Structure 1
Amino acid sequence: MLSYGEGGEFVVISFENVSKKYRDGTVAVDGIDFTVNKGEFFVLIGPSGSGKTTTLKMMNRLIPISDGTIYIDGKKISEYNIHELRWNIGYVLQQIALFPHMTIEENIAIVPELKQWNKGKIHERVTELLDMVGLDPDVFRTRKPSELSGGEQQRVGVVRALAADPDIILMDEPFSALDPISRDKLQEDIIHLQKTIKKTIVFVTHDMKEAIKLADRICLMNEGKIVQLGTPNEIISNPNTDFVKDFVGDTSTFGSQFNLEALMESIDTEDSKLEQIPTISISATLEEVVKQLSQHDQLAVDKNGKSIGVIDRKMLIDYFSSQLVEGEDRHV
């Protein structure tokens, strides 16, 4: 039975009263309900022990469910052949675990070979994927993992999960072990990649800045329960419990302090490129800017009928990050 979200979106993943309880009495996940829409970037976030990774691993049956039901494409996950289920769900870990004795091409080709793709098709797919993440296929396909940097290995891990063209990608804190520069670059890469491939991505992180940067919707968990689920702007602007306020930081002044003119990059009003960019008023609220930048990469800022600057998603994320850091500092 196929299902649809409130906005008419096709629901790919559905949790109905799902729990995970261990024999020692520990409740890792406690009766949670949520849906993930087709093509959505859905982020699970929370402190250590909140249940987010357990929730992710139940989707591909790495961890069995104790109670409730998970559906994928309207079918109970228990009704899938487990190998078929996992072949059709890409999985990216924090520790990417490339096979050290195999070349990069051989690492990427594992699932296509299990699915008995022919060698020509696999070769073409590896070329396409390496190109997609900016790794020259002629240079990287024959290299071993030890010859790659941490960021390059993580890129290979991402495309390995995409190799057999799965509809769903699960990502468990894939960038948390990287240095800040590599992490920021890979976050930008995954944003660009998602716009290109439009997969359904479920992403686990403990970093609120990362969640805000990547997510269409954020599911904040604590002690095995969902404490708030919504868009980044909804969670930042309207935290519904003290726990959410503390986790996100003090956001009570986000809207009142927002100044688009101070945030934008000033530009030459004669720049012809501005004609192709959607515009937003200099007096726009934070909520209006967030809504527009969720649909466009860049906006021209209009003042008295003239474009005086531009703002893009990265500038907005930097603003959110600075506000979150200030909130963290106030809680120290």
Structure 2
Amino acid sequence: NPLFNFNLSLLNLYSIIPTKYQEIGKKNRDNGDYISIDRYKKNLISNIYDVFTIKQPVLTINDLFYILEGAGPYIYKDSDLKKTNLMIIGDNAISVDLITLNMLNIDINESELFQQAQNNDLVVPKISNIKILGEKLEDTRINVKLCVSKLEDIKVKNVSINSGKFCSGCFKQAYHLLNMMKTYMGKDLKYNFSNSFMIGENPPEPKKAENIILFGDCVINSTKDYNFRKRIIEYKKDLIGDAKRKIKKGSKSKKNIKIKEKPVKEKPNKSILNLPGCPPDIFNCLELILKYYRKNNVPNLNLLTKVNKFWIKGESINMLNIWEAL
């Protein structure tokens, strides 16, 4: 999991509620400390525990028989399947998650998910006080390759990544979008050179002003005065015409003739793609990317968006309803 390292039972329980109710509201996002204290992540953890306290499960199973490591929780190009033959089962979800993290060599004190549990009046037991049956904890340590913590570590073909300051919400969505681009758009990007992906407040200037993708409201608003917003057009000298005029005027006068250079002009850069939102919606981003690069230039992305429309956005259900009506 890009935000919490692993999809623990607390996160899986939260995912039961409809997706539209999992979204973090946009209140107080204009405050200066929203990004610095990562208000998005704090609100998300608070919501996770709100759902958990409504009805706590009486049986919790963390199935670690197979683990998707490297990149997840979906299957991406950097994902690897690891077999452990282990399952952690218990009657207390928090205890099961604590044991799971301990087996995966994750320091529980560094887990924000459990640091905030006490603020929600939840009891976080000590590992030594949890009764364990079956395998010995010290004999079942698993080393797992975690998700990247920096977007720059996701190497997408012909795409440079420039990051500023951003919240966990934008990081999560950008993580998935970049992994989808790397997984499904490898051949598409092979023939689309010089792409820059920018995210967060005040990121560094891109090296080239071509195909600039601005991900999220923060980068769109904080880069309005950046150099890449304008293109400087330098008009070339008319060397042949200037030479002819020199010869023509030189025959009449021996005075030095100053040749006027055409002015340099600035024009708005139209090679910019805005992906608005805080955080942006992944499927809307894919649609906008497809529209920007055009279908013929990104055939793999075109196919992916058609599949997404059919299965994810409900068109498959509409088709089934039509068949049932017939």
Q: TM-score, normalised by structure 1?
A: 0.27
The structure having more radius of gyration, on CA atoms, is 2
Query: Which structure's residues are more often strand, by fraction?
Result: 1
Structure with bigger RCO (C-alpha 8 Å, 6+ apart): 1
Q: TM-score, normalised by structure 2?
A: 0.27
